[in-house]
């Protein structure tokens, strides 16, 4: 929101961000106001602070509720006279900076608890904007998903974007989103790992995307293990054939011994992956000719086309 306000304004300066909760208290003053060479141990050269860097632009103070009380006093002074002084200097620097602040805390309660200056709150609270949580604006979910997918597309022309079916979008809309937009970004990255170019259903969302237990996180590793086991089956099967044909794939009966060495298998995902591999191989073999590929796969051409669309091949 803060960045959008800056971009839509007539200010030509930079958009500078400071997370007040992430900077140690003893470094906050130098970070905001800058410092002169020799002002403290390690100050080997003069440095402009965030206020100077935002000259003619916008300074965004994120998590302002976590700013130490002594710095609140100095910030109030800056807001009143638009002048700063670098640490270790006596020279004043005149500012022309827009200040935008944000916090997830209840500032009113902080004021009551004497943890935030009331006069600073009055000075900052010129034009308050309440940004609703993502749970309160679930209709924005599809557009936010589309935005993050577009940002994650690879630069080499390969598009691993999954397709969220209506049931998947509905599942995402009804989710509480405690992590707000950051959580959406993480889930989109997870979706592109688990379902590259595939369709995502509501069940997939609830089973693989909204959960972060070890079973989900290790799902891709599990699939690698599945394919490695298939290679082993293939090797065993080859040894059983006396014709010496090393290209013979495992037969269905070879899978009967699966549970001799494995406790479980994601059957639906395994069958889907096998189907994708065969379709891609047949299409490549026939230079994308669906009619010829369908013959090799012993499928109707319309069935193959439907599967190609389903898997985004």
Measured CA distances, 27 to 51, 118, 140, 234, 276 (Å): 15, 24, 38, 62, 55
The domain covering 2-124 belongs, at the CATH homologous superfamily level, to P-loop containing nucleotide triphosphate hydrolases (3.40.50.300)
CATH numeric code, 266-313: 1.10.10.60
pLDDT of residue 15: 95
Domain extents in the chain: 2-124, 134-217, 266-313
Q: Do domains 2-124 and 266-313 have the same CATH topology?
A: no
Task: Tell me the fold of 134-217.
Answer: Helicase, Ruva Protein; domain 3 (1.10.8)
Whether residue 247 contacts residue 220, with contact meaning beta carbons closer than 8 Å, is answered with no
**Best CA proximity match to 268, nearest among 204, 215, 313, 192:** 204
pLDDT of residue 289: 86
Q: How far apart are CA 101 and CA 19, in angstroms?
A: 10
Whether residue 185 contacts residue 148, with contact meaning beta carbons closer than 8 Å, is answered with yes
Name the region of 312 (left: φ>0; alpha: ψ -120 to 50; beta: rest): left
pLDDT of residue 166: 92
pLDDT of residue 228: 57
pLDDT of residue 38: 84
Which 3 state secondary structure label does DSSP give 36? coil
pLDDT of residue 250: 64
Residues of the chain with pLDDT under 50: 213-220, 236-244
């Amino acid at each position: 929101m803060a960045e959008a306000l800056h971009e839509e304004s007539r200010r030509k300066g930079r958009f500078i961000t400071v997370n007040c909760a992430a900077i140690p208290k003893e470094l906050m003053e130098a970070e905001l106001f800058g410092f002169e060479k020799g002002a403290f141990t390690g100050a080997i050269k003069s440095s402009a602070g965030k206020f100077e860097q935002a000259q003619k632009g916008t300074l965004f103070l994120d998590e302002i509720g976590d700013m130490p009380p002594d710095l609140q006093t100095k910030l109030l002074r800056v807001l009143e006279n638009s002048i700063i002084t670098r640490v270790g200097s006596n020279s004043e620097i005149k500012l022309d900076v827009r200040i935008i602040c944000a916090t997830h805390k209840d500032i009113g309660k902080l004021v009551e608890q004497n943890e935030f200056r009331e006069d600073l709150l009055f000075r900052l609270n010129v034009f308050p904007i309440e940004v609703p949580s993502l749970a309160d604006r679930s209709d924005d979910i599809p557009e936010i998903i589309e935005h993050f997918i577009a940002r994650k597309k690879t630069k080499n022309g390969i598009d691993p974007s999954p397709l969220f079916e209506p049931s998947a979008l509905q599942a995402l809309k009804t989710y509480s989103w405690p992590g707000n937009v950051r959580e959406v970004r993480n889930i989109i990255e997870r979706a592109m790992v688990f379902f590259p170019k595939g369709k995502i259903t509501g069940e997939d969302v609830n089973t693989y995307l909204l959960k972060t237990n070890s079973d989900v996180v290790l799902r891709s590793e599990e699939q690698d293990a599945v394919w490695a086991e298939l290679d082993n089956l293939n090797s065993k099967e080859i040894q059983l054939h006396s014709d010496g044909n090393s290209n013979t794939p495992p037969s269905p009966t070879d899978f009967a011994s699966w549970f001799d060495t494995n406790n479980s298998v994601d059957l639906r995902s395994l069958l889907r992956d096998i189907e994708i591999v065969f379709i891609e191989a047949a299409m490549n073999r026939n230079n994308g000719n669906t009619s010829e590929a369908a013959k090799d796969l012993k499928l109707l051409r319309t069935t193959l086309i439907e599967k190609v669309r389903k898997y985004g091949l």
